[in-house]
Amino acid sequence: MNAIVDPTGEVGAWWATAVSHMEPGIVELRGRPVQELIGTVDLTSMIWLMLRGELPDAARSALLQAALVAGVDHGPQAPSIAIARMAATCGVGLNNAMASGVNVLGDAHGGAGEQCVRLLDEVLRLERDGLEIAEAAATAVAAGPKYVPGFGHRFHPRDPRRDPLVSLAEQAVRDGVVPGDHLRAGLAVEEHLRSARSRPVPMNIDGATAIIYAELGFAAPLARGLFVLSRSIGILAHAWEESGSGRRNKGPVPRSIVPARLG
Amino acid sequence: MNAIVDPTGEVGAWWATAVSHMEPGIVELRGRPVQELIGTVDLTSMIWLMLRGELPDAARSALLQAALVAGVDHGPQAPSIAIARMAATCGVGLNNAMASGVNVLGDAHGGAGEQCVRLLDEVLRLERDGLEIAEAAATAVAAGPKYVPGFGHRFHPRDPRRDPLVSLAEQAVRDGVVPGDHLRAGLAVEEHLRSARSRPVPMNIDGATAIIYAELGFAAPLARGLFVLSRSIGILAHAWEESGSGRRNKGPVPRSIVPARLG
Amino acid sequence: MNAIVDPTGEVGAWWATAVSHMEPGIVELRGRPVQELIGTVDLTSMIWLMLRGELPDAARSALLQAALVAGVDHGPQAPSIAIARMAATCGVGLNNAMASGVNVLGDAHGGAGEQCVRLLDEVLRLERDGLEIAEAAATAVAAGPKYVPGFGHRFHPRDPRRDPLVSLAEQAVRDGVVPGDHLRAGLAVEEHLRSARSRPVPMNIDGATAIIYAELGFAAPLARGLFVLSRSIGILAHAWEESGSGRRNKGPVPRSIVPARLG
Amino acid sequence: MNAIVDPTGEVGAWWATAVSHMEPGIVELRGRPVQELIGTVDLTSMIWLMLRGELPDAARSALLQAALVAGVDHGPQAPSIAIARMAATCGVGLNNAMASGVNVLGDAHGGAGEQCVRLLDEVLRLERDGLEIAEAAATAVAAGPKYVPGFGHRFHPRDPRRDPLVSLAEQAVRDGVVPGDHLRAGLAVEEHLRSARSRPVPMNIDGATAIIYAELGFAAPLARGLFVLSRSIGILAHAWEESGSGRRNKGPVPRSIVPARLG
């Protein structure tokens, strides 16, 4: 506290935080001097530390890491990637290009993870209220939106990221690393959608990572936040590649194509 | 290619990329099926793979990781953090709050790493042209801007992140992991500033990480891009904490304080 | 259409729009050659044209303009303004600083206009279903969130922008320019809050402009969109002023104040 | 000032501004109570007031307005527009979609106006130093970048916005509204490019509006800032239209087209 400029401490309190602390010569992250973390803690554990306040054990960190790696990129068709590439040709910094991509990771683009955690929470609540898990899944899906968050994909009949992520989650349950409730709920929703819908609606990356994040105890909104960290890597890679193309003001289609007139 | 919709392939070529590829049932990152990466590659190596096209060895990955961990957060006074916290109270998504913070990591806020790599490149160019390294450092600094990028800090007389990062870089040189030229140039600039200026201008986080990124072969703009990945972690942690505060429309100072009138 | 590159027209159709059209030598906005608009159409009517497809009459344009002018700025305590000012010191472009401010005009910061239009729509629906307007207002408020969108203010016991905007709306109703239903609904909500709550919750800028936007036939989300256009002016003015301050990396409070530690 | 929380006034001074002032019951913009501006000042004059501190006369306001109207939109091929449209399908707010578009109005996308003002300033400086204006234009262009800011267009052999804007500027000079120096410099650059280059490089929208902004006394960076205000209108119109399309996660090309593999 500064006794002269901020005698009541109200200004310092306005920006109070448990995340980090800085004074001349000192940088503490979650109470730990930064110099003790550099070279000793891996990046995924650092993410955990910053969000949770403590370091994870190796098994939990590895499971989180698998989910983060899975979400890094999904190809140039994703709006976030296309936007970052266009931005990189407009004469702005790489950080601005990245922000432009991150900014669209909303409810319909990656944000589904957050909604999926809430759906699984609801399935588990219904189960605690006495429903069989299959019935709980059917009930929660019926009460939710048309697009079941975390399930189905406009491109993939089967998302190649589902199986390895679900396998790792199953192994973690067997090893006692995570409790397994959200995994059970997720598989029940998948099974329900398999039997109830005419065309398959398999679990996608948002669903598989939502299971892992929830099993590890992250709150629903962090399913989105963690995905942003993950996808930022792909966004950077694409923006950087495009910035080497020499293009200026890249539009969405080749210049010879004129968008049609509506109305 | 789609022979009917895109018969010349020009539209597909407009978005061509070596970073990733997606077709129904397939996601490839740098030519590798994503399912082979999940659970086997660590997050830092994944960053390297996406930016460079190949996986790093363990020593290079560890050095990169140390630099990334060091930049994660620098306390609530940083504009990027304060901005993300205010954004988190305005009724936008966590991704929007993160984008708002990332968007200001510009030339004066973390972007200094990019400029520092260029400065070190210039020192090394002058050395190749025949100058002693000390003279090369003095010449390059004199030709540059008033704020020497990567050196000096408005808060820290001595940045606590400098020593561990420089030590790791020195060890990597001794181990033959990196060549050591940019480290040598960086230390020469630091020594020059120690002797030439009345008040100390020690190497800061941007300088220390710039050395590591350059030693590992990353281009100058990626010093900024990598910092964005790193700081995004701190931005998320602060935005998430603030989103739990219940505040709405958090301004920069307590509401009882009225900003002064100018002019 | 380009018969060779886009023979099916599917690519051009992907980006089809009624808003504008561009070919070599031609720029059309809502079907009108841009050269016919320059120097003949005022800025507010231009906004109307772009959003609605036709030019407004003078009375409607004037009413829209009054609402836009009212929202331009609300002082340096607003997060959007403080964020743009900090951004302007971080070494990014003025457009990036403006985007950072605009990005936080979310549900809790200006976005209330959108929610207020929906509230007034609900009041009118209940009235059509047979309720008295006072009862309709009470019912709609009771069914809504704790913070009634468009009413109450953390700073102002009485928002100085309310009276002139409501007066202009009342005059427009008397002149037959607008129907008056949303105005009636808004005043009913205000009256209900005056009598029902212990401390006054008068109409604020979001409520008063929501009434005007709705009276003029703009859809609810455009209450937010129009506010963004309006507030962008204040954001630019503040960012520009701050960029002349010579500051670098402006934090939220003077550097002598250290934010408190939580937890 | 708050004598208890901010006794030195340092915190209030940290956010001092001449742009606006707010206290309970009071909103002042450039020293004028907001209620005196609502219904009496037009939107363009409001922009001038906020940026310059005083209201413009009618002739200057009209000239500024013409430039603002000219820049509102340039069709769906522009990256800023395509980005805002994609963003609008990703489940974020309209303000976030607008910010995503505004964020890419950088040095290569609209930011050219700022650079053009600097170029014209340089032409005028050389003229004051004794060069003929034609020679000054040739010298300034030769010293500048390959893309002459404000001249040439990738789509238009002749930008349809040039003639009406130049005509209005010429009329304003004849009427004594503006001095005419920057117009003279701009036409000299255009004439130089006509004679010196093999293919025509006519003045474009950035050049024509830069002339007007500079003639009206706006500093170079405001050429970009004013363009952002103008283009925000088009960005909103396109984002709003796209948000009604029902699309989710709109990519840059139809889904049947797979981007090519590089490398």
Mean pLDDT over residues C102-116, rounded?
91
- pLDDT, position B203: 94
d(CA D129, CA A3): 56
**Residue of B17, B236, B253 with shortest CB distance to A229:** B236
C chain contacts of residue B13, beta-carbon cutoff 8 Å: none
Task: Give the pLDDT of chain B (263 residues) as one tens digit per residue.
Answer: 688 999 999 999 999 999 999 988 899 999 999 999 999 999 999 999 999 999 999 999 999 999 999 999 999 999 999 999 999 999 999 999 999 999 999 998 888 899 999 999 999 999 999 999 999 999 999 999 888 999 987 777 788 999 999 999 999 999 999 999 999 999 999 999 998 877 778 899 999 999 999 999 999 999 999 999 999 999 999 999 999 999 999 999 999 999 999 97
- Top-confidence residue, D212 or A112: D212
Mutation site, A8, A85, A109, interface D, largest D CB count within 10 A: A109
Q: What residue has token string 């979650």?
A: A30
pLDDT at position A36:
97
Neighbours of chain B (3+ CB pairs under 8 A): A, C, D
Mean pLDDT of D121-141: 97
3-state SS, residue B190: helix
- Run of H or E including A206: helix A205-215
Percent of chain C residues topping a pLDDT of 90: 87
Instruction: Tell me whether residues C233 and D17 touch, CB distance under 8 A.
Output: no
For residue B199, what pLDDT is reported? 79
For chain A, how big is the Rg over CA atoms in Å? 22
**Which chain A residues are within 8 Å of B73, Cβ to Cβ?**
19-20, 27, 29, 50
pLDDT at B109: 84
Q: Where are the beta strands (DSSP E) in chain D?
A: 20-23, 26-29, 32-33
Smallest Cα–Cα separation from A204: which of A60, A70, A62, A69?
A: A70
Size of interface C-D (CB pairs under 8 A): 281
Report chain A residues whose CB lies below 8 A from the CB of D255: 77, 154-155
D250: nearest CA partner in chain A:
A79
Give chain B's radius of gyration (CA, Å): 22
Residue among D104, D205, D245 with most chain A CBs within 10 A, to mutate:
D104
With an 8 Å Cβ cutoff, is B248 touching chain C? yes
Name the residue ranges covered by the structural domains of chain B.
21-56, 59-250
Q: To 5 degrees, how large is the angle CA B146–CA B150–CA B154?
A: 70
SS3 letters across chain C: CCCCCCCCCHHHHHCCECCEEEECCEEEECCEEHHHHCCCCCHHHHHHHHHHCCCCCHHHHHHHHHHHHHCCCCCCCCHHHHHHHHHCCCCCCHHHHHHHHHCCCCCCCCCHHHHHHHHHHHHHHHHHCCCCHHHHHHHHHHHCCCCCCCECCCCCCCCCCHHHHHHHHHHHHHCCCCCCHHHHHHHHHHHHHHHHCCCCCCECHHHHHHHHHHHCCCCHHHHHHHHHHHHHHHHHHHHHHHHCCCCCCCCCCCCCCCCCECC
- Calculate how close chain A gets to C137, using CA atoms only, in Å: 29
What are the residues whose beta carbons fall under 8 Å from the beta carbon of B145, sequence distance 6 or more? none
C6: closest CA of chain B, how far (Å):
6
- Confidence label for C180 from pLDDT (cuts 50, 70 and 90): very high
C158 touches chain D (CB under 8 A): yes
Q: Which residues of B touch C99 (CB under 8 A)?
A: 103
pLDDT value of residue B181:
98
C-alpha A18, offset from chain centre: 23
Query: Which chain A residue shows the shortest CA-CA distance from C259?
Result: A12
Q: What is the token pair recorded at A92?
A: 């702005």
User: What residues of C are in contact with residue D87 (Cβ under 8 Å)?
Assistant: none
Q: Is residue D66 less than 8 Å (CB to CB) from chain C?
A: yes
**Mean pLDDT computed over every residue of chain A:** 95
- pLDDT value for A1: 64
- The pLDDT assigned to C2 comes to 84
Residue with tokens 């448990």, as numbered in its chain: A18
Residues contacting B41, CB < 8 A, separation 6+ = A69, B49, B55
Query: Does D5 contact chain B (CB < 8 Å)?
Result: yes
Task: State yes or no: pLDDT of D56 exceeds 70.
Answer: yes
Query: Chain D contact for A86, CB < 8 A?
Result: yes
The count of CB pairs under 8 A between chains A and D is 138
Question: b/e per residue, D149-168, with b = 16+ CB within 10 A?
Answer: bbbbbebbeebbbbebbbeb
Cα A239 from Cα A80, distance rounded (Å): 10
**CB-based contact, A93 to chain C, within 8 Å:** yes
Contacts of C57 by beta carbon, 8 Å cutoff, 6+ apart: none
pLDDT in tens, C30-75: 999 999 999 999 999 999 999 999 999 999 999 999 999 999 999 9
Categorize the per-residue pLDDT at D1 as very low, low, confident or very high, splitting at 50, 70 and 90. Answer: low
pTM over 0.90: yes
Provide the 8-state DSSP code for B57. P
Q: What backbone phi and psi angles, to 5 degrees, belong to A26?
A: -130, 130
B46, B74, B95, B163, best to mutate vs chain A, most A CBs in 10 Å: B95
Considering only CB atoms, D50 lies closest to which of C44, C47, C72, namely C72
Position A55 confidence tier, pLDDT thresholds 50, 70, 90: very high
Chain C residues closer than 8 Å to B147 by CB: 248
What would the two tokens of residue B261 be? 């009138």
Does residue D25 sit in helix, strand or coil?
A: coil
C39 to chain D: which residues are within 8 Å by CB? 62, 66, 69, 164, 168
Which amino acid belongs to residue A112?
A
Structure-derived torsion over alpha carbons of residues D96, D98, D100, D101, reported in degrees to the nearest 10:
170
For residue B24, give the 3-state DSSP assignment.
coil
* Chain D partners (3+ C-beta pairs within 8 A): A, B, C
Tokens of C142: 């009771």
Helix H or strand E encompassing A128? helix A112-128
Q: Is A79:D250 a contact under the CB 8 Å cutoff?
A: yes
Whether the per-residue pLDDT at D156 is higher than 70: the answer is yes
User: Which tokens in the block code for residue B228?
Assistant: 């964005």
The CA distance from D154 to C238, in Å, is 34
Q: Yes or no: say if D25 and D4 are a contact pair by the CB < 8 Å rule.
A: no
CA distance B78 to B82: 6
Please report which confidence band the pLDDT of residue D110 belongs to, taking 50, 70 and 90 as the band edges. confident
Return the CATH number of the domain spanning residue range A59-250. 1.10.230.10
Closest listed residue to residue B147, CA positions, set C247, A22, C85: C247
The better pLDDT of the pair A109, B5 is held by B5
CB contact under 8 A, C11 and A253: yes
In three-state form (DSSP H/G/I as H, E/B as E, the rest C), the secondary structure along C212-242 is: HHHHCCCCHHHHHHHHHHHHHHHHHHHHHHH
Selection from A7, B76, D16 nearest residue C77 by Cα: D16
Residue B1 has a pLDDT of 64
* HSE, side-chain direction, 13 A CA sphere, residue D40: 10
D35 and chain C in contact, CB less than 8 A: yes
pLDDT at A167: 98
The pLDDT tens digits for A236-248 are 999 999 999 999 9
Choose the closest CB to D232 out of C17, C104, C232. C232
Question: Is residue D150 within 8 Å of residue D165, measured between CB atoms?
Answer: no
Q: Which of C14, C81, C83 to mutate to test the interface with B (most CBs of B within 10 A)?
A: C83
Closest CA of chain B from C9, distance in Å: 8
Q: How far is CA D91 from the centre of its chain?
A: 29
Among all residues of chain C, which has the CA nearest to that of B258? C77
Tokens coding A147: 């697009």
Give A12 to chain D, closest Cα distance, Å. Answer: 11
- Average the pLDDT over C250-255 and give the result: 95
Contact (Cβ atoms closer than 8 angstroms) between residue A126 and residue A140: yes
Contact by Cβ (8 Å): D246, A146: no
CB neighbourhood size of C24 (10 A): 12
Tokens at B63, concatenated:
């050095």
Tokens of B97: 């709050």
Backbone angles phi, psi at A83, to 5 degrees: -65, -45
